[in-house]
Structure 1
Amino acid sequence: MSEALLKLEGVHTHIGAYHILHGVDLVVPKGELTMLLGRNGAGKTTTLRTIMGLWHASQGRITLAGQDITARQTHEIATSGVAYVPESMGIFSDLSVRENMLLAARGARTLDDIDTTRLEWIFGLFPAMKKFWNHPAGKLSGGQKQMLAVSRAIVEPRQLLLIDEPSKGLAPAIIQNMIAAFRELKAAQTTILLVEQNFNFAKQLGDTVAVMDDGRVVHSGSMAELAADESLQSKLLGLSLGAHQ
């Protein structure tokens, strides 16, 4: 396993009166794609939001590249090279694709400030972004909105991407496009922590996997090993995921 870029040690998160995370231990190796799996309500989204500082850990420690970020504010975590793509995608519907991208490029005041080579690379991953460059983001299809959400996250180099269910509700052809894009990101040594329910998506992309249940990580290891072991899938997730393509 590669060295850890992100580590969670005994992380607890409370939201109001609710105790959601109960001592999460998680290691995300540098340059790899880690899948975060689990039943609905297991705490996966809360884990991403806690890492991003949108909710603060009430106990435990979160480190990024050896630096303690547990108490940092969201904007501080973002400026340290972390991008978050929520399940809701978080795009600005009234703005154009171009304007959404410019807002996400923190170091750019105008389009001329965005790295042209990187922008062309993104267009290669998601050709629809170039095609609909001047269209309102709210007019895009669901799959195109997801492409825009990921494109915004990678418009500048990031050391870590946090992505929540990128294939949810997408057509199979769009899912394959997304898989190809994430493979390119992996090839570029981008570190990714990805929540996903589509097991076929997960097994094609994941290097490592962590499975959550009731606010804890109950299994971690190789994605390939979990994909090959239907009895373990059933034990951890209550069904044979191999049958759910």
Structure 2
Amino acid sequence: MADILLRLAGVHTHIGPYHILQGVDLEVPRGGVSVLLGRNGAGKSTTLRSIMGLWTPSAGEIHFDGTRIDGQPTPAISRAGIAYVPENMGIFADLTVGENMTLAAASGTMDPQRLSWIKELFPPIATFWDRPAGTLSGGQKQMLSVSRAIIEPRKLILIDEPSKGLAPAIIRAMTDALRQLKETETTILLVEQNFQMAKSLGDTVAVMDDGRIVHAGTMAELAADNGLQERLMGLSLEVHQ
């Protein structure tokens, strides 16, 4: 049986009058990449934000590494070992790349060896270290956002749509970097619409629809079965090139 790092059981989340998550059951094994797929509006981003404590579930439980975390404040969840890369990247545009990285380190100091590794993963971090983050391209900002999340070792990284709006060459670079991060045994929960990227990285996959998980299994199984893709998504996921 897989070692489950993160488990959501019957999670409901309301945002104002809207019932977004309607009983989400999700398991993320320790190590590797779990991918969360689904149409726009299915509840994928809300799931990540509920895990991170940015929205408080109205029912259900979230367990991380043996501890229940639903209802805890976001800083406590972060200190437990979870980092979050939001779809809007969450960087400080007026600060330099280096200042953004320093702020992301809980201790205020960065391990030189780890920083060197990050600069190898994402060369623009080194190239634009003294440049205001707001002047970076979209792809460079995404690299900075991921770099901030991994400046300290984390047990789990939540990443929301890292390829959205990026050029194919940048997507390939991001995929390669996440593959290297995966090899460090860091667990990743990835929301991603680009199926080629998701397929190349994912070990397990869950598909959401209308605020619920409607399928969970291995990525290899889903990638090999166009009929299953069509039943779950209404079209072959191969269209997401």
Q: Which range, TM-score by smaller chain?
A: over 0.9
Aligned-partner residue type, residue 244 of structure 1: H
Decide which of 221, 227, 230 is 1:231's aligned counterpart: 227
Deviation at 1:81, TM superposition (A): 1.0
SS in 2 for 1:83: strand
Decide which of 183, 192, 197 is 2:193's aligned counterpart: 197
Report the equivalent of 2:240: 244
Deviation at 1:243, TM superposition (A): 3.5
Alignment of 1:82-231 (within 5 A): 82-108=82-108, 113-231=109-227
Deviations 1:156-177 (A, max 9, x none): 0001100000000101111011
Deviation at 1:244, TM superposition (A): 3.0
| Separation of aligned partners in 1, 2:85 and 2:215 | 24
Aligned-partner residue type, residue 153 of structure 1: A
Report the equivalent of 2:35: 35
SS in 1 for 2:106: coil
Contact kept? 2:9, 2:62, Cα under 8 Å? yes
Aligned-partner residue type, residue 100 of structure 2: N
Q: Does 1:7 align with 2:3?
A: no
SS in 1 for 2:146: helix
| Separation of aligned partners in 1, 2:237 and 2:175 | 18
The answer for unaligned runs of 5 or more in structure 2 is none
Q: TM-score, normalised by structure 2?
A: 0.99
Percent identity of paired positions between Structure 1 and Structure 2: 66
SS in 2 for 1:145: helix
SS in 2 for 1:144: helix
Contact kept? 2:34, 2:204, Cα under 8 Å? yes
SS in 1 for 2:60: strand
Contact kept? 2:193, 2:240, Cα under 8 Å? no
Deviation at 1:230, TM superposition (A): 0.6
The answer for unaligned runs of 5 or more in structure 1 is none
Report the equivalent of 2:52: 52
SS in 2 for 1:27: strand
Aligned-partner residue type, residue 210 of structure 1: A
| Separation of aligned partners in 1, 2:32 and 2:217 | 13
Deviation at 1:200, TM superposition (A): 0.5
| Separation of aligned partners in 2, 1:155 and 1:28 | 22
| Separation of aligned partners in 1, 2:198 and 2:145 | 19
Aligned-partner residue type, residue 63 of structure 2: T
| Separation of aligned partners in 2, 1:14 and 1:121 | 40
The CA RMSD measured in Å over matched residues stands at 0.7
Alignment of 1:63-74 (within 5 A): 63-74=63-74
Q: TM-score, normalised by structure 1?
A: 0.97
Deviation at 1:37, TM superposition (A): 0.1
Q: Give every structure 1 segment of 4 or more consecutive aligned residues whose post-TM-superposition deviation is greater than 2 Å.
A: none
| Separation of aligned partners in 1, 2:100 and 2:71 | 28
Report the equivalent of 2:26: 26
Aligned-partner residue type, residue 78 of structure 1: S
| Separation of aligned partners in 2, 1:2 and 1:125 | 29
Count, aligned residues: 241
| Separation of aligned partners in 2, 1:218 and 1:195 | 15
Aligned-partner residue type, residue 53 of structure 2: G
Aligned-partner residue type, residue 223 of structure 1: M
